[in-house]
Amino acid sequence: MQVASNPNLIGEVYTLFLATIINGGLALWVYNDSRLRERSRFWAVGTFFLPQAFFPLYFWNRMPDLIWTCPKCQRDNRAWSRKCRGCDQFYTAEETVARLHGYFNPSDPVVIFLVTFLFQEVARYIAIVAAEGFGALATTNLATYILPAPYFWSVKLFVGNVLIWLSLFCITGRYRRTVKSVGLKYSGSLTDLGLSLLIAPVLAFVSVGFVRGVGWFSEHTPLDWLTNLAHWEQQQWANSMPENFGDSAVILLGFVMIILLPVGEEILFRGIGYIGLAGRFGQAKGMVLSALLFAALHGYIRAFIPLVLGGVPMFLMGLTLAWLLVRTKSLIPCIITHSVVNLILILAYWG
């Protein structure tokens, strides 16, 4: 069993402060929405103390907003509007009603992420028991326990399936839309595939550079607690990587990182996140906001400076993939790019 060294008191206080800021932001989001919809403020209080439960329950325990899509310019419009915001075309009430469907809310990617994270924590504790026995629950520091590679990737395999299932439920179950409406279709253009293969190495190169930058910063910062926090993140991933191609965990690693997570994350962040944000704020803001969301949910969660440094390549990647979706009108090139980036990063790690 490998356990990372515990952060000192300052680090624990800092982590608590950061968690308070995040929980407070989610609670404020719920509070402002509850005021507009005249719902109980209890949801905001619950979100502050247990965001993984109350935030998803609040936003998915109501009827989704309705919109109709303009057949001329494909712009999404509010249900009560008869004039398209994109091309100023007027339609009759019957025409707009016939095109009504659910409107992706900016909260949807956050809801899916929080629920997926909750499932991940439960699966992680089960994996710890499977690896160490029930005695580990009393004798092991569960927060800093480093899972062995086979158990780590088994958890990720479960999480990837939950992510895809929740995303598809959001699209087809909650909003009654088709998977084609979020770009799960192929245009048939070889140019789009070639563009994916050209973009992927550039994104991978940028990611490697920033990861090394985070490592360099962690080594040279005078703040021991910050170094320990960043090292825990790095140690978990380093310990989870198989030593060579002959390791049995390689199959799990490859399936999760090259197939499962790219598919799930592209459906979530581009298919649901970008399309929902672009429909509300416009294409340019939708690209930036979806990239920020992608970076925020991928960065280091225990220290602010590693979060910023680690989030930069994720933001650039999210922005590029959103642009690729706009250009190709398909998630397939985005999934291929994401998969190739992950493959290059895995090979670079072993190299």
Q: For residue 4, what pLDDT is reported?
A: 42
> Tokens in use for 171?
């699209």
Residue 253 CA to residue 236 CA, distance in Å, equals 14
Nearest to 11 by CA among 313, 281, 287, 218: 218
Question: Are 236 and 153 within 8 A, CB to CB?
Answer: no
Q: For residue 190, what pLDDT is reported?
A: 79
Q: Where are the domains of the chain?
A: 2-65+103-350, 66-102
Nearest to 332 by CA among 270, 254, 278: 270
Residue 170 CA to residue 8 CA, distance in Å, equals 41
Distances in Å between the Cα of 81 and the Cα atoms of 5, 66, 70, 92, 123 are: 58, 11, 11, 10, 45
Query: DSSP of 185-213, one letter per residue?
Result: S----HHHHHHHHHHHHHHHHHHHHHHHH
Distances in Å between the Cα of 141 and the Cα atoms of 69, 232, 240, 260, 322 are: 52, 13, 18, 30, 40
Question: Are 270 and 331 within 8 A, CB to CB?
Answer: yes
Nearest to 311 by CA among 196, 206, 199: 206
Mean pLDDT, 10 residues at a time, over the chain (351 residues)? 46 71 92 86 92 92 77 76 84 78 83 92 90 75 76 91 94 86 80 87 84 64 56 64 69 90 94 88 90 76 47 85 92 94 84 62
Question: Are 290 and 270 within 8 A, CB to CB?
Answer: yes
Q: For residue 5, what pLDDT is reported?
A: 44
| Helix/strand/coil for 328 | helix
Q: Say if strands 66-69 and 145-146 run parallel, antiparallel, or are unpaired.
A: unpaired
Q: For residue 152, what pLDDT is reported?
A: 87
Q: Which residues of 18-46 are buried (b: 16+ CB within 10 A; e: fewer)?
A: eeeeebeebbebbbebbeeeebeeebbeb
Q: For residue 211, what pLDDT is reported?
A: 67
Q: For residue 300, what pLDDT is reported?
A: 45
Nearest to 70 by CA among 290, 331, 279: 279
| Helix/strand/coil for 76 | strand
Q: For residue 243, what pLDDT is reported?
A: 67
> Tokens in use for 185?
């279709």
Residue 122 CA to residue 114 CA, distance in Å, equals 13
Q: For residue 223, what pLDDT is reported?
A: 54
Q: For residue 301, what pLDDT is reported?
A: 41
